Structure 1
């Protein structure tokens, strides 16, 4: 079962689970996810994929989704640090209370394990690098704090209840195909740079560009989730970093993005640094190696090339011209393409049977 399975990482995880023969239920409220990411798989594997349009704060939807679940991948979240600043109450409701609701529903369903998608943002603005899992937890945004609270729940529940195993995966800067433009998520700078370059716009670099990040490709992250789900030994609520243990400056990232787009030598627009951005971020991945057997396999150049290929195909499918600047008055949709009005999920998902079951509309 995957919460947030219509999102960026979640939809890739759903694909991978179906590819290994699993039966998957997805629950997603589609506020940031996109059901279009699942429709092809609903056609490919109608007997092994079930989509429920609902919120993790709705216990009826959760209980329905958890039926017969053995492993729960909990990725549903408000994942934008900037958005969390403007709406901290909703951030905590989704990321903290939503985690409690998901674990409790998993226990009722007698699921064996729940794997929580956490974040490197729990380490705060000035972490020691590479950051180990036993480093101080010092979040500097409601988003980071809400994920730290979710981790506390994940850590406490197997100590208090013997019927559920839990694990937190602290994701560093995830990037790759299907990532939203201007999402505010870790790794979204990759999407911002590639969209700008493909549209002949000037990329924006905040600050001096020498801040460092640990960029990890989405396929590698999905593999970490699969390894976590398949391990027979219990985790007991621990947290494990998922990254590459490499560092890339934002300036280096822009150069790599420009190379991937065939536009080397791009001169960016420089903007003031943004409050709340850590200067350095890098994962210590020794625990991921020993506990999961995980090592990131995709280089930055390889991941960027695959992301550019996807972006160009997506632009071609939508009839977008990469040489036409985007309309700044349009709202970006979940794949980063501006449109005049936000799409309603009911346009893409109709309810059949129980009120939360989504299926592809007739076309």
Structure 2
């Protein structure tokens, strides 16, 4: 079994990766500064796996912290970043510092410590203004936001380091990842947890634009699957490549709202009376996103384990159970 560093390990994707890897028998180091991650995401790991899970609270903008976290590690899964297109538009300097400066720190640490393979979270936003569908890895456009620009720079840095320092990397371009533990309360919350929260609270979800924009929503277990394939592949043609990490399905925002409502009605029939409202399009958003996953199939033997709809059912089940737990806790505390 390997020793693996997961940066951003207390976040939505990172904590799911940590949990999966620990359960597979690996020793996991979690590095997080809790700017967007949450201690509750890893509390069970800290309590139940003290010998195979370690938390280092720190910031990837500190090179010394990166060296400390990566020392003695076999592989790095670099998930730490400041996500959200709107956040990057509001604060491009911090987004740049974390997503490029922090990324470079981790890349240099991986080089200096001779890490076996550096696997990192890239982004579908890199496709920018390219209108072709489906999105194919070697055909991108110009970035449409500071966030997208930072993720493109990360890919370029990884490629340069591979060629210059004989390093191994694999970049995974995530397409709209969703699932358990995704934060619905952030001011930059993603659309799926936000809509789920609003419907469960009997509030109208707000759709940006007319709802015809579409996305390739990707369930968290498919993302875990891709990270594991990137870790274990011995195919020399698979290394130092970028891969779309997606379902290969296209869903409009109107369809998404309808699906979420339809599933949640099973839990609370009152939700049938809630309908979305519409507002202006959001600056920096691309209209449509659909991934080709042929490259991942060819080189990594990837086949998504979850369809979008099946993943959505699992996600809503998780949120409903968490909602029920919190309601029970509130009632108990008020006795």
**Is TM > 0.5 for Structure 1 vs Structure 2?**
yes
Select which of 274, 277, 280 maps to 1:269: 277
- Tell me whether 188-197 or 294-303 shows the greater mean CA deviation: 294-303
Select which of 155, 158, 174 maps to 1:151: 155
Select which of 156, 167, 171 maps to 2:170: 167
**TM-score in terms of structure 1 length:** 0.84
Are 2:32 and 2:59, in contact at CA under 8 Å, matched by a contact in 1?
Answer: yes
Match of 1:191 in 2: 193
Are 1:125 and 1:279, in contact at CA under 8 Å, matched by a contact in 2?
Answer: no
Partners of 2:319 and 2:107 in 1: CA distance: 35
The answer to whether residue 321 in structure 2 is matched with residue 316 in structure 1 is no
Are 1:122 and 1:139, in contact at CA under 8 Å, matched by a contact in 2?
Answer: yes
Select which of 255, 258, 270 maps to 2:258: 255
Are 2:203 and 2:274, in contact at CA under 8 Å, matched by a contact in 1?
Answer: no
The answer to whether residue 57 in structure 2 is matched with residue 53 in structure 1 is yes
Select which of 244, 268, 276 maps to 2:247: 244
Look up the SS of the partner of 2:42 in the other structure: helix
Look up the SS of the partner of 1:69 in the other structure: coil
C-alpha change, 1:99 and 1:304, in structure 2 (3 Å) is same
1:264 CA drift (Å): 4.4
1:276 CA drift (Å): 1.7
Partners of 1:274 and 1:80 in 2: CA distance: 12
Match of 1:117 in 2: 121
Partners of 2:328 and 2:180 in 1: CA distance: 17
In structure 1, list runs of 5 or more residues that go unmatched: 322-363
C-alpha change, 1:131 and 1:184, in structure 2 (3 Å) is farther
- Tell me whether 260-269 or 166-175 shows the greater mean CA deviation: 260-269
Partners of 1:242 and 1:248 in 2: CA distance: 16
Match of 1:360 in 2: none
More helix by share: 2
1:302 CA drift (Å): 1.8
Match of 2:72 in 1: 68
Are 1:84 and 1:142, in contact at CA under 8 Å, matched by a contact in 2?
Answer: yes
Match of 2:37 in 1: 33
C-alpha change, 1:56 and 1:243, in structure 2 (3 Å) is same
In structure 2, list runs of 5 or more residues that go unmatched: 266-270, 330-335
Q: Runs of 4+ in structure 1 displaced over 6 angstroms?
A: none
Match of 2:211 in 1: 209
1:52 CA drift (Å): 0.2
The answer to whether residue 98 in structure 2 is matched with residue 94 in structure 1 is yes
The answer to whether residue 294 in structure 2 is matched with residue 290 in structure 1 is no
1:275 CA drift (Å): 2.3
1:141 CA drift (Å): 0.3
Are 1:137 and 1:148, in contact at CA under 8 Å, matched by a contact in 2?
Answer: no
Select which of 268, 279, 282 maps to 2:287: 279
Are 1:172 and 1:242, in contact at CA under 8 Å, matched by a contact in 2?
Answer: yes
**Aligned residue pair count:** 320
Are 1:113 and 1:165, in contact at CA under 8 Å, matched by a contact in 2?
Answer: yes
Look up the SS of the partner of 2:120 in the other structure: strand
1:301 CA drift (Å): 2.5
C-alpha change, 1:264 and 1:319, in structure 2 (3 Å) is closer
1:308 CA drift (Å): 1.6
Q: Deviations over 1:223-271 (max 9, x none)?
A: 1001101112344432110111110011111110001101447421111
Are 1:6 and 1:37, in contact at CA under 8 Å, matched by a contact in 2?
Answer: yes
1:174 CA drift (Å): 0.6
Q: Deviations over 1:31-65 (max 9, x none)?
A: 00012111111122111111000001112221121
